[in-house]
Structure 1
Amino acid sequence: MTRLPSRAAAAIALAAAACLSLSVASRAEPVPASDLAPGQTPGIPVPPARIDAAVDRLDGLAEEILARSGIPGLAVAVVRDGQTVYAKGFGLRETGKPGQVDADTVFQLASLSKPVGATVVATQVGAGRIAWETPVVAHLPWFALSDPWVTDHVTVGDLYAHRSGLPDHAGDDLEDLGFDRRTVLERLRLLPLAPFRASYAYTNFGLTAAASAVAAAAGADWAALSEEAVYRPLGMSRTSSRFSDFAARENRAIGHVRQGDGFAALLTRQPDAQSPAGGVSSSAADMGRWMAMVLQDGSVDGAEVVPAKPLLAAVTPKAISKQADSDDVRPSLYGYGFGVGVEPSGRVVLSHSGAFAMGASTALLLIPSLDLGIVVLTNALPTGAAEALSQEFADLAQYGGITRDWYAGYARVMAPLSAPAGSLAGASAPAEPAPALDPADYAGAYENPYFGPLEIDVRDGALVMSVGPIPMRFPLRHWDGNRFVFVPAGENAPAGSLSAVDFAQDDAGRIAAVTVEVFDRAGQGRFVRP
C-alpha cells in the first residue's frame, strides 16, 4: 500500500477533523457553503416539507413493494433529527399464518449486523481497550493467515474493511458444513491471500475474527459485549446477537425462500458462528434507536453511547469496495462495517444491505447531512425489495420524486444471490453416460487440510459422501464416467443447486483423489486418499 507523505496525511487528518465539527453544526442549522471544508459539499437544498412528504408516502410505497415482490412481510423505520418519526410493519410474519408484522417484529438482520457490530467495536476503542489499528494477534495469538507478515500486521480495522487479502466469503463453506467459529477462524490460514490492503473481498469470518479479538480484549463473549455496550444503553430490548434469543421471540419474522410462484418457510438460518457479521436480530423500532445514535455522532439525547471519534473512523471510507468500470461511474467505498457513497444530490450516504439466501433481506440508508435514515427489514431471500424501498424514500426526501424504477434494477442485481450453485445446475444428465467403476473402487477415506476428512461409503449399491464435523451425508448420483453429482445444502446452496464430484485415477487406475466442485471456490476442494 502506498503511504502518503506525513505532512499530506496530517493535512487530511486536520480536514477530517474540521469536517466532523462542521457536520455536527450542520445538523442543527444550515452552514453557508463558504464555511465548509473543501471536501464537504452542502448538497442540493432539501426543504423540511419535502422530507415530510416522503414520510407520508411510505405506507403506499411499502404496500406497493410488498405486492410487486410477493414477499410475505416487511418492517420500516425512519429517523429524523434524532427521533424515530415512522415505524411500521406490513404483511405477514409467516406466509399462510395470521401473525402480522409490526414495528416490534424481530427480523434476522443478516449483514446489517456488520455496521451494528462496528458501533460495538467503537465503544471499546473509545474505552481504550483496543484500537482500530490493533493487530488481531495481540488478542487472538492463535489466529494466523497464510502469510506470516500479514498475520502479524492485519488489524481489527483491516478485517472490518475487508482488505486483509482473504478470498471472498472465506470460511462460509466451512460454516455450511457445521464447523464452529474457532475451527473456521483457525483454518483461514490455509487460504491464499490477495495483496494486503490493496484488494477488497467481502469476508464474514475475517470480520468475525476482528470482532472476536475485540471481545477478547473486553473479557467477554461477543453477544454479551454487544448487549452491554450498545443494545441495553439504547433500549434495544428486542435486539440480540444470539440465535437462541431470536428463536425464542414470539413476535418474530420467519425466513422464506422461493417455492413455485410464491414463497415458503422451508429453511432456518442459524448464524451464530459468524454472529458479528450476520447474527444480529432486531426490530424496526429498535433499529430506529440505533440509527438515531449513529446520525447524532454516537449520542442520544445528549448522552454519549458510542464515542464520536472511533465512530467517525467506522463511517468514513477505508477501502474501494467496487472499482468504477467507466469514467462516468462512481466507485463504491467501504469504511469499517459501513458502505460509504455520494448521492447525485452531492450528499454523503452510509448504507449496507443484508441477505440470507435461506430467507432474509435488509437494507440501511443514512444521509448524515440531513440527519435522516431509513431501515427496511424483510423476511424473504434477497429480491431487491428492501433496497428499492429505501432508495425510493431517499429519492423522495432529496428530490421530491422517484428518479427510476429501483425495484427493477435491484431485482437484477439480487437475482444471482439466489441462483443455484454448481455448473451442472439445471443441466440434463448425459443420455449415454460412460460407465462408472465398481462402487467399492470409490469407497474409502479422503483427506483435505481445509475441509477435513471425507468418507465415501457404499449403501444399497450407491455412493454416499460424508463430510464435516456432524458429519453431513450426501447421496451421490452417477453422471458420467468418474463424475457424480449431489445436492449441496446450506446458505451458499440455493434451491436447484447441483455440484459435480469428480474422482481421479492414478497411473495404476486406482481412485486417488476426488474434487468437490462447490468446495473448490478457492481451490481447496480436492481430497486425496492417504
Structure 2
Amino acid sequence: MTHLIIRPADGLLTVTMMAGPMAAAPVSRAEVEALLPAFEAYASSTIQRWQMPGVAIGIVADDQLVYAKGFGVRVLGGNDPVDADTVFQIGSTTKAFVATTEAILVDEGKIGWMDRVIDHDPTFRLSDPWVTREFRVIDLLAQRSGLSPYVIGEMVGLGYSADEMLAALRHEPVRGFRLTFGYQNVFHLEAARLVAAASGAPSWEAFLSDRVLQPLGMLSTTATEDGILRNPNHASGHAPADGTIRPIPLLPNFYAVGAAGNLNSSVNDMSRWLRMQINGGELQGRRIVGEKALKHTRIPQIPISPIASYASGWVVSSLQGGRVVWHNGSTPGFGSHVGFDPERRAGIVVLTSLGGKSPPGDAIAMRFHDLLQGNPERDYGSDMLAAADAGIAAEAKAYVRPVPIIPPRPLQDYAGAYEEPALGPATVSVDGDHLVLPLGPNRMPMTVRPWSGDVFSWHLPAGDAHLAGSDPAGKVVFQTKADGSIAGFKLLFREDSAERSFTRRPS
C-alpha cells in the first residue's frame, strides 16, 4: 500500500492506493445506479462536514448522464439552489481541454508531439539554451520542465500579462529537465499561443469554442469573468475565514491564468465533455478528435509516485481495482474534480463553490471511483479535513511573531528603488509607522509592517477577501551588505511558499 500526496491542480489531494490494476469490462447504467444510494449518502455527509455552500455532481456511464444533482445554494445567505446547470469555475481541469486542442492539431498534421516549441514560436526562451532548443510540444503539458513548482504563479495575481509571464521564464533556473515532476501553470500559456498560431484562430479560447465546446453542445462553458457573471445561474465562490465559510468576490486578474485554468462550466456541460473523452473523441456520432491523438494525451510522461503519473492535462493513477484518469482544480473560491475509469467507461464530475488548498470535491469523487471498482471503503473526507486542519495549524505557527521582538532600524533606511528579474522594478516608501510596496502592473498596494528586526510582514489591502484567514500574506526579509546597509530583500509569499529576491538599485 502506498500513501500518495499529489498537488496536481491548485489544491492538495491525499489518496491511498494499491498497485495492481485488474482488467474490467464496461459497466451498465443499472450497475452504476445500484451504487448511487451509498455514494449519495457519503457525498451528503462530506458536504455537511466540510460546510460546502454549493456542490454539483454528475456521473456518466453507458454513454449517458445517469446522475446529475445539485446540493446547497449558489451563495451563502441566498435561496437559489444549485442544480446541474449551475456554472462554477473549474480551475485546472481546464488543462485537459488544452491537451485535446493540441491533439486536434496533431490529427490535422499542423503540429507534432515531438516538434520543438521554438520551431513554432521563435520567441520561446528558458534560462538554459539547450533546454530551450530541446523543449518539445509534448513537454508543455507534461509537468517535467525542471523549473521549480508553481514558478512565477504569483505574477497572475499581481496583474502581469501572459506575454510578461512567458518572458519571465528566461530568468528561472532549470534543474532536471524531464527528470522530476514539478507542477506548473505557465507552460499552458505557451501551449495556448501555439494552438492559436498553428490553427490560425484569433486565440486558444476561440479555437476551443469552435472545435470543441460548440460541437459538444457545451453552451454554458466560457473562459472569462464576464462569462460566469452574465449567466444568471452561477455559483459564488467561498473561502474559510476565522473558522467560518463566507462568500468572496471573483479574484481580480484571475482569468489571466488563461488555458491553465480559466474555464467556467456546469455539470451538464462537463458530462458531455466526459462522455466524449470516454468514447475516444466522439459524442453522439460526431467526431471531435481522433482516438489515437486523444489517447496520446493520457500516456504517462513523468512519475509522481510508483502508482501515479502525470500525462498531458491528466493524472493517471492505479487503484486497487483499475485505472483512473483524472484531474482536479482549485481556484480562490471553487474546487473541482473530473475523472473516469477508461475500462469501465464511467466517470464523475464534482464542482464545488469552496476553495482552498485541499479541494473537497476530491473526497467525493474518490469514493465514487472506489465504489465503481469495488475497492475497500475509505473516508477520504475525514482524512483530507484532518490534513487541511493540520496544515492550517502549521502555517499559523510559522507566522507567530518571535519573542522578544527586535525593533527595526529607522524605516527610511529600507526605502528606495529595487529590482527583480521577473517582476521588474519596485519602490519601497515610508508611510507613517510602516512601509508601502506597490507591485505589478496594477501597483497592488502592499502594506509592509515591522515584524522583528529586518523582517517585515506584508498585507493585502484592507477588506481583501482572497487570502481570508491568511493575514499576513507573506514576509519581506531585508538583507544587508558587509557594511550593514540594505542590499535587497526577499519577498516571501505565504501561498505556495514562493519567494522573489530583489536587489537594491544604486541611488
Report the residue type matching 2:456 in the other structure.
F
Counterpart of 1:219?
A: 200
Residues 402 and 51 of structure 1: CA distance in aligned 2, closer, same or farther (over 3 Å): farther
**Corresponding position: 1:332 with 2:308:** yes
What is the aligned counterpart of 2:44 among 60, 63, 81? 63
Given that 2:401 and 2:452 are in contact with CA atoms closer than 8 Å, whether structure 1 keeps it comes out as no
Given the two structures, how large is their TM-score scaled by the length of structure 2? Answer: 0.88
What is the aligned counterpart of 2:243 among 261, 264, 269? 261
Instruction: Quote how far apart the aligned CAs of 1:146 are.
Output: 0.8
Deviates more, 1:484-493 or 1:142-151: 484-493
Tell me the alpha carbon deviations over residues 272-329 of structure 1, each in whole angstroms, 9 at most, x when there is no partner. Answer: 2222111111000000000000000001122211111110100121211x234xxxxx
Instruction: Determine the C-alpha separation between the residues in 2 that align with 1:183 and 1:247.
Output: 27
Tell me the alpha carbon deviations over residues 386-445 of structure 1, each in whole angstroms, 9 at most, x when there is no partner. Answer: 11111222222222x7611121223345557878869842x03534x3332222222111
Counterpart of 2:415?
A: 443
Instruction: Determine the C-alpha separation between the residues in 1 that align with 2:465 and 2:107.
Output: 35
Give runs of aligned pairs for residues 25-424 of structure 1, distance below 5 A: 41-43=22-24, 49-220=30-201, 221-269=203-251, 270-320=253-303, 322-324=304-306, 331-345=307-321, 347-356=322-331, 358-382=332-356, 383-399=358-374, 403-413=377-387, 424=398
* Higher share in strand: 2
Given that 2:220 and 2:266 are in contact with CA atoms closer than 8 Å, whether structure 1 keeps it comes out as yes
Given that 1:376 and 1:389 are in contact with CA atoms closer than 8 Å, whether structure 2 keeps it comes out as yes
Report the residue type matching 1:486 in the other structure.
W
Instruction: Quote how far apart the aligned CAs of 1:88 are.
Output: 1.5
Instruction: Determine the C-alpha separation between the residues in 2 that align with 1:430 and 1:529.
Output: 33
Tell me the alpha carbon deviations over residues 29-88 of structure 1, each in whole angstroms, 9 at most, x when there is no partner. Answer: xxxxxxxxxx99524896764422113544433322221211101001111122211212
Instruction: Determine the C-alpha separation between the residues in 2 that align with 1:450 and 1:384.
Output: 30
* Higher share in helix: 1
2:79 match: secondary structure: coil
Instruction: Quote how far apart the aligned CAs of 1:457 are.
Output: 1.0
2:248 match: secondary structure: coil
Report the residue type matching 2:341 in the other structure.
I
Instruction: Quote how far apart the aligned CAs of 1:227 are.
Output: 0.6
Counterpart of 2:490?
A: 515
Instruction: Quote how far apart the aligned CAs of 1:181 are.
Output: 1.0
1:391 match: secondary structure: helix
Instruction: Quote how far apart the aligned CAs of 1:461 are.
Output: 4.4
Instruction: Quote how far apart the aligned CAs of 1:131 are.
Output: 2.0
Instruction: Quote how far apart the aligned CAs of 1:465 are.
Output: 1.4
What is the aligned counterpart of 2:439 among 467, 470, 488? 467
Report the residue type matching 1:134 in the other structure.
D
Tell me the alpha carbon deviations over residues 81-134 of structure 1, each in whole angstroms, 9 at most, x when there is no partner. Answer: 222112121101110111110000000001111112222221222122212222
Instruction: Determine the C-alpha separation between the residues in 2 that align with 1:375 and 1:367.
Output: 12
Instruction: Determine the C-alpha separation between the residues in 2 that align with 1:204 and 1:417.
Output: 23
Given that 1:51 and 1:396 are in contact with CA atoms closer than 8 Å, whether structure 2 keeps it comes out as no
Deviates more, 1:500-509 or 1:98-107: 500-509
Instruction: Determine the C-alpha separation between the residues in 2 that align with 1:139 and 1:121.
Output: 13
Instruction: Quote how far apart the aligned CAs of 1:203 are.
Output: 0.3
Tell me the alpha carbon deviations over residues 8-40 of structure 1, each in whole angstroms, 9 at most, x when there is no partner. Answer: xxxxxxxxxxxxxxxxxxxxxxxxxxxxxxx99
Counterpart of 1:525?
A: 501
Given that 2:188 and 2:259 are in contact with CA atoms closer than 8 Å, whether structure 1 keeps it comes out as yes
2:189 match: secondary structure: helix
Instruction: Determine the C-alpha separation between the residues in 2 that align with 1:381 and 1:113.
Output: 16
Instruction: Quote how far apart the aligned CAs of 1:206 are.
Output: 1.7
* Structure showing greater Rg: 1
Residues 47 and 84 of structure 1: CA distance in aligned 2, closer, same or farther (over 3 Å): closer
Report the residue type matching 2:33 in the other structure.
D
1:241 match: secondary structure: coil
Instruction: Quote how far apart the aligned CAs of 1:337 are.
Output: 0.6
Given that 1:123 and 1:306 are in contact with CA atoms closer than 8 Å, whether structure 2 keeps it comes out as yes
Tell me the alpha carbon deviations over residues 209-263 of structure 1, each in whole angstroms, 9 at most, x when there is no partner. Answer: 2222122211221111111111000000001122321122211111100023331
Counterpart of 1:21?
A: none
Instruction: Determine the C-alpha separation between the residues in 1 that align with 2:396 and 2:122.
Output: 37
Instruction: Determine the C-alpha separation between the residues in 1 that align with 2:88 and 2:44.
Output: 18
Residues 474 and 48 of structure 1: CA distance in aligned 2, closer, same or farther (over 3 Å): closer
2:293 match: secondary structure: helix
Instruction: Determine the C-alpha separation between the residues in 2 that align with 1:84 and 1:405.
Output: 26
Report the residue type matching 2:58 in the other structure.
A
Instruction: Determine the C-alpha separation between the residues in 2 that align with 1:67 and 1:125.
Output: 45
Given that 1:430 and 1:479 are in contact with CA atoms closer than 8 Å, whether structure 2 keeps it comes out as no
1:233 match: secondary structure: helix
Gaps of 5+ in 1: 1-38, 325-330
2:343 match: secondary structure: helix
Between the two proteins, what is the percent identity of the paired residues? 32
Instruction: Quote how far apart the aligned CAs of 1:362 are.
Output: 0.8
Instruction: Determine the C-alpha separation between the residues in 1 that align with 2:465 and 2:152.
Output: 12
Deviates more, 1:502-511 or 1:197-206: 502-511
Given that 2:239 and 2:248 are in contact with CA atoms closer than 8 Å, whether structure 1 keeps it comes out as yes
Gaps of 5+ in 2: 1-19
1:251 match: secondary structure: coil
What is the aligned counterpart of 1:501 among 463, 473, 476? 476
**Corresponding position: 1:430 with 2:413:** no
Residues 527 and 415 of structure 1: CA distance in aligned 2, closer, same or farther (over 3 Å): farther
Instruction: Determine the C-alpha separation between the residues in 2 that align with 1:459 and 1:267.
Output: 28
Instruction: Determine the C-alpha separation between the residues in 2 that align with 1:473 and 1:54.
Output: 52
Instruction: Determine the C-alpha separation between the residues in 2 that align with 1:60 and 1:369.
Output: 26
Given that 1:223 and 1:242 are in contact with CA atoms closer than 8 Å, whether structure 2 keeps it comes out as no
Counterpart of 1:6?
A: none
Given that 1:139 and 1:214 are in contact with CA atoms closer than 8 Å, whether structure 2 keeps it comes out as no
